Amino acid sequence: MPCNGDSFITVRYSTSDAQPTPNNIPWTTEKPKREFSYRRHREKILPWQESKESQSCYLQVSVNQGVERSRRLRGGSESVSETSQLKSYSEVLRNCAAEMCLNKDAVENVVSWTALISGFVAQGYGVESVELFYEMRREDVRANEFTFATVLKGCSMLLDLEFGKQLHGELVKVGCLSDVYVGAALIDLYSKCGEMEYAVDVFRVMPEKNAVMWNALLNGYAQVGHGEAVLQLFSKMTEPEMRFSNYTLSIVLKGIGSSGAFRAGQAVHSIVIKIGGEPDDFVTCSLVNMYSKCGVANDALKVFEMIKSPDIVAWSSIISVLDQQGLKEEAAKFFHLMRRTGMRPNQFTLSSLVSAATDLGDLRYGQSIHACAHKFGFESDDLVSNALIGMYMKFQSTYDGYHIFNKMTNRDVVSWNALLSGFHDETSDQGSGSLGRCL
């Protein structure tokens, strides 16, 4: 697993042929009798015999200054502060996968397991969080509602619908489905997997429908682009405090933007103004995104000027709508302003700027954006690659265009059309040769 700086992590598991049993504990100081089943990342499992170091523990973590042994929690005397330290330890590891060496007493503590799983989920390690849940169950540790809600988040990150359904069945069996955070996590999982019918079914059976539940279902419809369903659900919300919260309004605006319902977006904007108060940057950024997706550059600019600290979504949205409306030079100016604030561009920002450079006929500027994409690691992104291919082919730089095309792993019809657009000049021997190699 990748680490930053001097950090490193070493994991060793046994590859014995012995069959797994519930009593085998992989984090003991004794040589294990079985393999830790890493169903998605088996390449991370190393034979015990290959270890050249002490076999007293499985995992070593070093963060920046030397080597710091993982903490061994004592199950009988563990306090809430120790659990909080474990969460903080997972956060300090940042991009490293964090684990701890657990003794036989600590593995029986569901709070410790949940804290560790939560640390993995917070750092984006969905696979590891699910595997830890598997291991927790092998040790006969009974999960609580917090554990289920946390592992469901990890499951959502992996879009693992099959395992999510298994968890759903277990939730019904143990009687934890009534918890609002578990229900919200289930709705989020089904929504991200495109199973809105299941998400609605979970919403309907929940005994308490608070803001968490409503927002989970609203966000689900917004994620799949069902703007009309977002508006219908929003109209059914009866609690004013719930309905007009900044978070709810931002979700509704996201759903409207995905459907391009400009009039509905104006109506929600009027609600934001009518309820009074100072809308936070989250709502104003959502308004910029909505107007941008609806192709209304003037309104997007007016709202953008109100934002104190625009996020990357707001910057990308305003640059994109300026590019789409033919204001290419303005898009380039806003990118310059964005970089002065220290904001990192994303693939949407860069693809819009490549498009602007293409229409401006400025190859040097386009090449500078290409260098920027390479610097920030977006050169291989499909959206950016397609824009770069189109740009180079328009400027008759067929070799550069074909070079990018050749490195792509997920070529679609846009990629092929962008490449073929540069071969209209039959007098170009280089272009004919490249086209021959493509075919």
Residues 6+ away with beta carbon under 8 Å from 176: 144, 145, 148, 182
342: left (phi over 0), alpha (psi -120 to 50) or beta: left
pLDDT score of 358: 94
pLDDT value of position 208: 84
CA distances (Å), 330 to each of 324, 326, 327, 355, in order? 11, 9, 5, 13
End-to-end CA distance of the chain: 39
Q: Is 131's pLDDT higher than 60?
A: yes
Question: Residue 30: its pLDDT value, please?
Answer: 36
Does residue 69 contact residue 9 with C-beta atoms inside 8 Å? no
Confidence grade of residue 245 (pLDDT, cut at 50, 70, 90):
confident
| Position 27 pLDDT exceeds 80 | no
pLDDT in tens, 184-206: 999 999 999 989 999 999 999 99
136 burial via Cβ count (<10 Å: 0-12, 13-18, 19+)? buried
- Confidence class of residue 282 from pLDDT cuts 50, 70 and 90? confident
What confidence score (pLDDT) does residue 423 get? 74
User: pLDDT averaged over the chain?
Assistant: 76
Tell me the β-bridge partners of 194.
none
Q: Which of 1-10, 41-50, 241-250, 311-320 has the highest mean pLDDT?
A: 311-320
Lowest average pLDDT, out of 130-134, 138-142, 291-295, 380-384, goes to 138-142
Could you tell me the CA-to-CA distances from 428 to 281, 386, 404 in Å, in that order?
52, 22, 19
Residue 395, SS3? coil
Instruction: Tell me the HSE value of 70 on the side-chain side, using a 13 A CA sphere.
Output: 26
User: Which residue, 370, 373, 426, is CA-closest to 396?
Assistant: 426
pLDDT bin (cut points 50, 70, 90) of residue 363 is: very high
Give the model's confidence band at 433: pLDDT under 50 very low, under 70 low, under 90 confident, else very high. Answer: low
pLDDT for 374: 94
The answer on pLDDT for 370 being more than 80 is yes
Instruction: Categorize the per-residue pLDDT at 316 as very low, low, confident or very high, splitting at 50, 70 and 90.
Output: very high
pLDDT of residue 14: 31
pTM to 2 decimals? 0.67
Give the tens place of pLDDT for each residue, 63-116.
233 223 333 333 333 444 445 544 444 444 333 334 444 444 444 588 888 888
pLDDT digits (tens, 9 = 90+) for 51-76: 333 322 333 232 233 223 333 333 33
**Nearest-angstrom CA–CA distance, 62 and 89:** 12
Does 288 have pLDDT greater than 80? yes
- Using the predicted structure, report yes or no on whether residue 340 has a pLDDT greater than 50: yes
Band the pLDDT of 318: cuts 50, 70, 90.
Answer: very high
Q: Using pLDDT thresholds of 50, 70 and 90, give the confidence band for residue 138.
A: confident
The SS3 call for residue 171 is: helix
Domain boundaries, the chain: 1-102
* Span of 74-78, 138-142, 373-377, 428-432 with lowest mean pLDDT: 74-78
Tell me, what amino acid is at 174?
Answer: V
- Confidence at residue 437, expressed as pLDDT on a 0 to 100 scale: 58
Question: How many whole angstroms separate alpha carbon 285 and alpha carbon 276?
Answer: 17
* Greater pLDDT, 216 or 243: 216
For the segment 32-60, the average pLDDT, to the nearest whole number, is 33
3-state SS assignment for residue 59: strand
